[in-house]
Structure 1
């Protein structure tokens, strides 16, 4: 199963119309990242940052691309049952039949909107951003990923001060309480994470993770079993007692969060120090797009002082292959390339999540497990450099 780092909880392929919480509310410095596809039959769609998870509530920011007649995009807010004054542009960055990515960044002055990596619009605040706690999406649109980035959660707990024993809601002695992790790194074909002490309506579903049939269809499993992800009772994101809102929560009232702000739209080749160096359970998330005509790109985890590459991934788009390897003492090791699927296609957006475990790296793409790569270099804490190169456009990188 996809084990998201604490504070990073993407939502994949939500049903439209969609309405869901922004846990802890919005604050300056946070971003909302949305990937989707505009269908050929589109007339209009909309996204709203709302003050409650219900129709008719106040809206701090509303964007509505319209494709009827002369294309336009409308921006507005809604307060006390009335719409405010419209802002609109006839520059249309969304294209029928094409994928897009939109980033809404909260800054002190307002909402800064980027589409496909380019600045699109600035909408000045009309309501206090602290009131905004929900996202609504409707109309003719298909959404692949929603993610709220940065900011963490306010002191006093997640998401509203109801912090008791488990993680993050209603987990009957769950994470932080009576939970044990077995085979944290898993084995090829193994069970991965096994929960003891019960999840009682927790995340992702009622019976634990990956057992009794596990992935994808067992009871309590991911994503199809009763109580599972995303629609079962107690599941993610909306079931009673489930993630994110029930009483219970993470121990001590402080949920760990993804550290620091992501790096948006870096140039490729990209090279950056890994903050704090590599460590067990550290996760690095890379979002991007494969441009048309792409051949291959690579991701390298490097020991800066020796230039050893303990973990190398080569995504060969034209060949339909993903190859993993290591280069130690200037000698390449044996390649690994037996993967169940290849999600990297020209013109497609992707989310790559690489988690360092005690025995191996775990790689997930778009929420699905791609591969494990057992450590060939035992001093993972010496890995301090990330490099990305080749035919790829990067939307953001988050350590």
Structure 2
């Protein structure tokens, strides 16, 4: 019997196979489905499938059938309409290996599904069935273990609290102060960033654009610099065994830049555990540290969603749907022009709004 998951959980870590889960609100532009798992190193572990379907069964209509076939060295993509399969797409090779953790991200755009595998853009599959008809995710396979399934984004996201950008999948409860609402998020098609390309700089993340899987350390220009009501959305995961990572807002010139806001997550570093240090460095000199937190929301291999919002007088930071800390400005906001991320962390996505 197929197991139905709780669709309201932002991250489902209790995945039984075969898995059938309703997609709340269906698929809309910008919605992402992130799947992490491992195919066991077994002689009969030949493949599995990830399916976006119009009902709780594959038949009669499956908008996207994403079928890694390790025994054939390819990932087959197809659509079923009225019980009949269409033409297969097979190019792209096989980036998934037995015994190794894989991660698949499927993002719906207006014309196609953009699919990344292990942090690298893999394929664009044009819609053959209107994505508005898609209501279920079905995952199945022998000798397959799914670590988690995560949904985020989309135009039918839960309404945002006052002062936060609409069109982003964040439940209420951040506790941010009300303020003018920035323009809605719009996705710019073009695929996912390819973090291992050394000949090109990371993909540009302009206002409203999304940067996926950037290389760390990251130095990213902030479009329009920081200003009141600007927000930075960061989704990521600390590495297994992570000790420390930091998120910094810098002012030009760089190199020995001033750190207007230093957010330093110390999971287990220098004999200190579960501390988030906030500070400012001006003309090479650090100020007084702030360390008090209501809780510690970071852990190795645990996904986090974070928002940094600039107000008139301070930065407000939310982590995993809850207000986390407030940091009063020690330097003028208007001089901040660069985001820096470094340390034991992988960033899934980054957006300025």
Instruction: State the TM-score, normalized to the length of structure 2.
Output: 0.63
The 2-side partners of 1:276 and 1:58 are apart by: 45
List aligned pairs for 1:249-264, cutoff 5 A: 256-257=184-185, 259-264=207-212
The 2-side partners of 1:287 and 1:272 are apart by: 15
**Is residue 2:289 matched to residue 1:361?**
no
Shift of 1:141: 3.0
Shift of 1:301: 0.8
Say if 2:68 and 2:94, in contact at 8 Å, map to a contact too. Answer: no
Which structure 2 residue ranges, 5 or more long, are not aligned?
1-7, 165-169, 176-181, 187-206
The 1-side partners of 2:56 and 2:344 are apart by: 43
The 2-side partners of 1:352 and 1:295 are apart by: 19
List aligned pairs for 1:332-351, cutoff 5 A: 332-339=286-293, 340-345=295-300, 347-351=301-305
Say if 1:47 and 1:138, in contact at 8 Å, map to a contact too. Answer: yes
Say if 1:297 and 1:316, in contact at 8 Å, map to a contact too. Answer: yes
Corresponding residue for residue 336 of structure 2: 383
Label 1:330 to 1:257 Cα distance change in 2 as closer, same or farther (>3 A).
Answer: same
**Is residue 2:276 matched to residue 1:322?**
yes
Corresponding residue for residue 350 of structure 2: 397
List aligned pairs for 1:1-399, cutoff 5 A: 11-13=10-12, 17-21=20-24, 25-26=28-29, 30=30, 32-38=32-38, 46-50=49-53, 52=54, 55=57, 56=59, 58-65=61-68, 74-86=76-88, 91=94, 93=96, 98=101, 100-105=102-107, 111-120=113-122, 122=123, 124-125=125-126, 127=128, 131=132, 133-139=134-140, 141-148=146-153, 153=155, 168=159, 256-257=184-185, 259-291=207-239, 294-304=242-252, 307-319=257-269, 320=273, 321-339=275-293, 340-345=295-300, 347-365=301-319, 367-369=320-322, 371-377=324-330, 379-399=332-352
Say if 1:341 and 1:370, in contact at 8 Å, map to a contact too. Answer: no
The 2-side partners of 1:24 and 1:124 are apart by: 15
What secondary structure, in the 3-state scheme, does the structure 2 residue paired with 1:278 have? coil
Give the number of equivalent residue pairs: 294
Label 1:113 to 1:300 Cα distance change in 2 as closer, same or farther (>3 A).
Answer: same
Moved more, 282-291 or 82-91: 82-91
What secondary structure, in the 3-state scheme, does the structure 2 residue paired with 1:260 have? coil
Which structure 1 residue ranges, 5 or more long, are not aligned?
1-8, 160-166, 169-174, 186-202, 212-253
Instruction: State the TM-score, normalized to the length of structure 1.
Output: 0.57
Q: Larger % of strand: which?
A: 2
The 1-side partners of 2:219 and 2:9 are apart by: 25
Q: CA RMSD in A?
A: 4.5
